[in-house]
Amino acid sequence: MAKIGFIGLGIMGAHMARNLIKGGHSLFVNGAYPVPEDLSKTTTVVADSTAVAQAADIVIIMVPDTPDVANVLFADDGVAAGLTQGKLVIDMSSISPLDTQAFAKKINALGADYLDAPVSGGEVGAREASLTIMVGGPEKAFALAKPLFELMGKNISLIGDNGAGQTCKVANQIIVALNIEAVAEALLFASRSGADPERVRKALMGGFASSRILEVHGERMTKRTFDPGFRIELHQKDLNLALDGARKLGIALPHTASAQQLFSVCAANGGKAWDHSAMVRALEIMANYEVAQAPGSEAKAA
């Protein structure tokens, strides 16, 4: 079994690490970052990211944003300082495609391979090992990493060269955001019209409007369960990547921009850490009406 380094044991990373351990792999983790209690007992905790790279054959990174990946890789105690010929770095964070290409070139110059492999599926997908994994990088490195990906996900695709995985993830996040917006508008309309939004949601699940977003996030909207599986502030980061990229490409993404504005309303009302399904709350604020409140009620949205 491969010796694996794993850096970034947050909401999703911790579940992904557990699934690798279940698959029989030995994990080395960075003790400079918080390590969940159960993983502190089932992994080898080392001093820093350099030590992780020295101990492991393959280093997996799962952190929030582009600057975080840069720091993990290239700080004085970063991964790059511990790499040797033939090792593999896999970044499963969701970050800038252009910066990913630059990171890959630097890692390749050290004799190591690099894959960008962002994921979709949220905390549930990470816990249940059902993530969608979108990969950019060399085919040989992908073949080496695929057995590990199969322990963490179910839909695994090599999209193209380095950066292509991140580009695919940005496209995914556009689609997810616009679907959340559509579901939120539909349920707000139904609820304000006097219909039971949960019954409407269930009815729509049997027709052409059915989607995973309607199933999971629509239920969160009607049941008011906005504890984060994927935080609004992280989806804002992803949509910023989309909008910045669109400006550089000279294309318009008007509905992506409107979804970002709704997330900004949530953030301005204390919702940066809400689940992204809470986008509905921005619409509720504008409508002065909350989905799932009693028909005929004029109470203001929270």
239-272: pLDDT as tens digits? 999 999 999 999 999 999 999 999 999 999 999 9
CB 122 within 8 A of CB 229: yes
Given this model, what pLDDT does residue 122 score? 87
Given this model, what pLDDT does residue 42 score? 97
Distance of CA 190 to the CA centre of its chain: 30
The yes-or-no verdict on residue 299 having pLDDT over 60 is no
Q: Which of 193, 177, 275, 272 is nearest to 233 (CA)?
A: 272
The yes-or-no verdict on residue 6 having pLDDT over 70 is yes
Given this model, what pLDDT does residue 292 score? 80
- Please compute the mean of the pLDDT values over residues 71-95 and round it to a whole number: 98
Given this model, what pLDDT does residue 1 score? 81
- Please compute the mean of the pLDDT values over residues 115-127 and round it to a whole number: 94
For 59, list phi and psi in degrees, rounded to 5: -110, 125
Q: Which of 22, 169, 223, 272 is catalytic?
A: 169
If pLDDT is split at 50, 70 and 90, which confidence band does 2 have? confident
For 185, list phi and psi in degrees, rounded to 5: -65, -40
Percent of all residues in the chain with a pLDDT value above 90, rounded to a whole number: 93
Given this model, what pLDDT does residue 298 score? 53
- Full 3-state SS string of 280-295: HHHHHHHHCCCCCCCC
Given this model, what pLDDT does residue 229 score? 82
Given this model, what pLDDT does residue 301 score? 57
The yes-or-no verdict on residue 112 having pLDDT over 60 is yes
Question: What's the pLDDT tens digit per position in 278-293?
Answer: 999 999 999 999 998 6
* DSSP strand pairing (131-136 vs 119-120): antiparallel
CA atoms within 13 A on the CB side of 233: 11
Other beta carbons less than 10 A from residue 287's beta carbon: 16
Question: What's the pLDDT tens digit per position in 186-235?
Answer: 999 999 999 999 999 999 999 999 999 999 999 999 999 999 888 999 99
Distance of CA 186 to the CA centre of its chain: 25
pTM: 0.89
Contacts of 232 (CB under 8 A, 6+ apart): 263, 266, 267, 271, 272, 273, 274, 275, 276, 278, 279
- Please compute the mean of the pLDDT values over residues 43-71 and round it to a whole number: 98
Contacts of 169 (CB under 8 A, 6+ apart): 94, 118, 119, 120, 134, 238
User: What structural domains and CATH numbers belong to the chain?
Assistant: 3-160 (3.40.50.720), 168-287 (1.10.1040.10)
- Residue 106 among the catalytic residues: no
Distance of CA 251 to the CA centre of its chain: 24
CB 249 within 8 A of CB 291: no
CB 52 within 8 A of CB 5: yes
The yes-or-no verdict on residue 159 having pLDDT over 90 is yes
